[in-house]
Chains A and B, each alone.
Chain A
């Protein structure tokens, strides 16, 4: 019972805070019907979402997590863009009172439905595993009720003018969308992130579109024949372009509403004869402007954090453990197969090796560069070396098409591997023999010793 209580509690708390924000808005507008519609929506979301997992549902798409993740993302985007659309709508096109009530019901339902479904799924699962479904459900319901306790804050906050004036419909919807992007329901089951999903989708769309157009224009890429506009096509279908478009897409609602807010002119006060009253009016207007921008700036901050998280999830740091190697032959040399049981160098992934020289470990790396040649270097740099207690931060990891110095996080273009200097890894002489990289042991040792000597001189930072 306690397990389900604790599992469900965070889901309902995060929904409760959003419901609280919506209630603050409806109370500030003195629209009791909107508040009731919102709470009815939340309650119906609880009924439908929480108990959904206990019902047999037809169809893989309706009951699969992939399907639910899709609908959840769509809902988050819709909420973000609803705020922008409302801000762009003018005058008579604004929704009427009945439509508004319906919209608040839908908003309330959407705020909690995915969390409730998530909670219901977990409770159902835990109940089945423990064979105590009733206790699990009781714990889950108690968790939801406890999670919604922050809603009681409304009685305190609605009396405070500074809180009442924070939300407009536009910034509320944008804030709601951003909040759900950060804390939304089903994502906690799949550790999903809307931005990562969008970036992958946008990348697939752009690369598909560009290669389709190239094919239609008879300009498909070729391994060695020059094809016009291949560089442009590569740029347009690259990850950076996808990321740029996703950033524009995600930040457009926040920035649009913020721009509209700040584009409001100061109030016309020339008809007021008392100067102090003029200043008071302008001061009140500006204070109000700042208050209303808080949810938008908060949304902006949330989206920036999510963008960073998405970047990391799409492009995580790849830091493989070093594989031990031995020197053989006369003169002794280390031979690395381009294709071995760990895969093929053409996968473009970083490989690390360690040669044990007495009690010292000589760690070096090898990677295939974009021009098709191989780069081999020590897993340390000339410039920075972490202190003894921070030894794990020594060396390099791979992120996308760059190596990254784990100490100073400087990205290093793969083309520049084998070039000495700066934060680049210290190059190790090697030669290619058919499908092998051959490193003379003497070269490896002398390079390593030179790096160690530099360390003793204190040349490192």
Chain B
């Protein structure tokens, strides 16, 4: 059992698993295939679970070892970084006082042994790192197996359902700038926030494009946004209406709207209000409170450009039949008033809290890690022997310099600049 624990809590196993995973990834050369292999194939799942177990057991081993080191127990200073036998020891109070002065904390004495420690919680950064990793790995596995996700394009007033919940879309409130100057090609157009009011089973909530909103066991986030218009086509006395989602953002992008019945297609793109010069560059100025579109009608087998119109919402556009084809009669197209559409991502995923908390812990551990250069465990062990006193000093890192430090402490303790002949000291560092 002990041997098993040693193997599974060994760093060598972690290194072996990490190396194995890296090799598998290099051979597969595709991250998704790699994750699928780890999370669904029997051997992959087994190795993944062994890694989680390994990280847990390492944390337990290190935690227990550090806690035990704080408590006095049967331990000989001879196993420490440096030690010394002293025949005429100072009082226990003197040792404790010196320890406190050097920043050491003493544990309650047990029999003839006193332990003074410094940096007793120095194992925490590593612990955070490993537990964070375990939580994130576990979360990814839970997410892979239990996640349910959907995405819908929604307009104001639409209804939808997700995992038995019924929702109604309220207002869509985009935080659009009044105007946007586009310089060069696709400019740095950004929409900071698109808020979406929702009613889920008669409970009101708001989702936006920031962090996902949580409600009724699901996560909701706006993952897409665009302009929407009602397209009215008047032809030969008839009237046809159709909702059109025009993906014309960022300005300059062209949305294609096919009309299979008419054997034609319309392309829409935002038309700049004006072109202005800014320094060396010339750019297009778009206004979002006065939207204009460049509407291009294409028809025929090769979808040749037949007509180009600059249109504003609500203004009818007369399509002259001659330019399209001889068979077509008069046609009028009206773009309705501007409204919006959003893409709403809806996800049920019990793994997300685990992943988020895991990543936070991991990052905390990572941020604390540089502190380990000066935050490490140092112990001063004081054991009364029949003939005198044995003191030992142990340092987690910098053992070479710990020996010097130990002798400084020893000199401080005995206020003796030179080692007396009744002392026998030794030190090791590896």
Report A's interface with B, CB cutoff 8 A: 70, 74, 81, 85, 90, 201, 204-205, 207-209, 211-213, 216-220, 222-228, 260, 262-265, 268, 270, 338, 345-346, 368-369, 371-374, 418, 427, 429-433
CA distance A81 to B12 in the complex (A): 11
A364 to chain B, nearest CB (A): 13
Interface size class of B (residues with CB under 8 A): 35 or more
CA distance A432 to B283 in the complex (A): 7
Inter-subunit contact A223/B250 (CB<8 Å)? yes
Inter-subunit contact B281/A208 (CB<8 Å)? no
Contact residues in B for A369 (Cβ distance below 8 Å) = 184
Inter-subunit contact A346/B185 (CB<8 Å)? yes
CA distance A369 to B186 in the complex (A): 10
Inter-subunit contact B224/A225 (CB<8 Å)? yes
Inter-subunit contact B194/A225 (CB<8 Å)? yes
**Total cross-chain contacts (CB, 8 A):** 131
Inter-subunit contact B189/A209 (CB<8 Å)? no
CA distance A260 to B429 in the complex (A): 9
B151 to chain A, nearest CB (A): 10
Contact residues in B for A433 (Cβ distance below 8 Å) = 282
Q: Which of A85, A222, A368 contacts B223 (CB 8 A)?
A: A222
Q: A208-B32, A212-B35, A265-B427 are contacts. A222–B224 as well, Cβ < 8 Å?
A: yes
Contact residues in B for A85 (Cβ distance below 8 Å) = 12
Q: Which of A90, A208, A227 contacts B31 (CB 8 A)?
A: A208
Inter-subunit contact B429/A345 (CB<8 Å)? no
CA distance A195 to B210 in the complex (A): 38
A81 to chain B, nearest CB (A): 8
Inter-subunit contact B281/A224 (CB<8 Å)? no
Q: A212-B31, A216-B355, A225-B224 are contacts. A418–B280 as well, Cβ < 8 Å?
A: yes
Inter-subunit contact A225/B225 (CB<8 Å)? yes
Contact residues in B for A225 (Cβ distance below 8 Å) = 190-191, 194, 209, 222-225
B367 to chain A, nearest CB (A): 13
Q: A70-B27, A224-B249, A225-B222 are contacts. A371–B187 as well, Cβ < 8 Å?
A: yes
Report B's interface with A, CB cutoff 8 A: 12, 15, 22-23, 25-27, 29-32, 34-35, 140, 143, 147, 183-194, 209-212, 219, 221-225, 249-250, 277, 280-283, 345, 347, 349, 351-352, 355-356, 359, 398-400, 403, 419, 425-430
Inter-subunit contact A265/B31 (CB<8 Å)? no
CA distance A117 to B34 in the complex (A): 30
Inter-subunit contact A371/B351 (CB<8 Å)? no
Q: Which of A70, A207, A213, A418 contacts B26 (CB 8 A)?
A: A70
Inter-subunit contact B35/A201 (CB<8 Å)? no
Inter-subunit contact A368/B190 (CB<8 Å)? no
CA distance A263 to B427 in the complex (A): 13
Contact residues in B for A430 (Cβ distance below 8 Å) = 280-282
Beyond A264-B430, A369-B184, 10 extra complex contacts between A and B, CB < 8 Å = A81-B15, A205-B22, A216-B349, A222-B223, A225-B194, A225-B222, A263-B398, A265-B427, A418-B281, A432-B282
A60 to chain B, nearest CB (A): 13
CA distance A268 to B403 in the complex (A): 11
A-B contact pairs, 23 of them (CB 8 A): A70-B27, A81-B15, A90-B430, A204-B29, A212-B32, A216-B143, A217-B356, A218-B221, A218-B347, A222-B224, A224-B250, A225-B225, A226-B190, A226-B191, A263-B430, A264-B430, A265-B428, A368-B184, A371-B184, A430-B281, A431-B282, A432-B183, A432-B185
CA distance A224 to B176 in the complex (A): 11
Q: A226-B209, A372-B187 are contacts. A263–B400 as well, Cβ < 8 Å?
A: yes
Inter-subunit contact B183/A373 (CB<8 Å)? yes
Inter-subunit contact A260/B249 (CB<8 Å)? no
Identify which of A85, A220, A346, A432 gathers the most chain B CB atoms within 10 Å of its CB.
A432
A366 to chain B, nearest CB (A): 11
Q: Which of B34, B147, B184 contacts A208 (CB 8 A)?
A: B34
Inter-subunit contact A222/B345 (CB<8 Å)? no
CA distance A207 to B29 in the complex (A): 12
A235 to chain B, nearest CB (A): 13
Contact residues in B for A228 (Cβ distance below 8 Å) = 210-211
Q: Which of B185, B191, B222, B283 contacts A338 (CB 8 A)?
A: B185
Inter-subunit contact B23/A224 (CB<8 Å)? no
Inter-subunit contact A374/B185 (CB<8 Å)? yes
A229 to chain B, nearest CB (A): 9
Q: Which 6 A-B pairs have the closest CB atoms?
A: A208-B31, A373-B184, A431-B282, A372-B186, A374-B184, A373-B183
Contact residues in A for B183 (Cβ distance below 8 Å) = 373, 432
A367 to chain B, nearest CB (A): 11
CA distance A268 to B426 in the complex (A): 8
Inter-subunit contact A209/B31 (CB<8 Å)? yes
B39 to chain A, nearest CB (A): 11
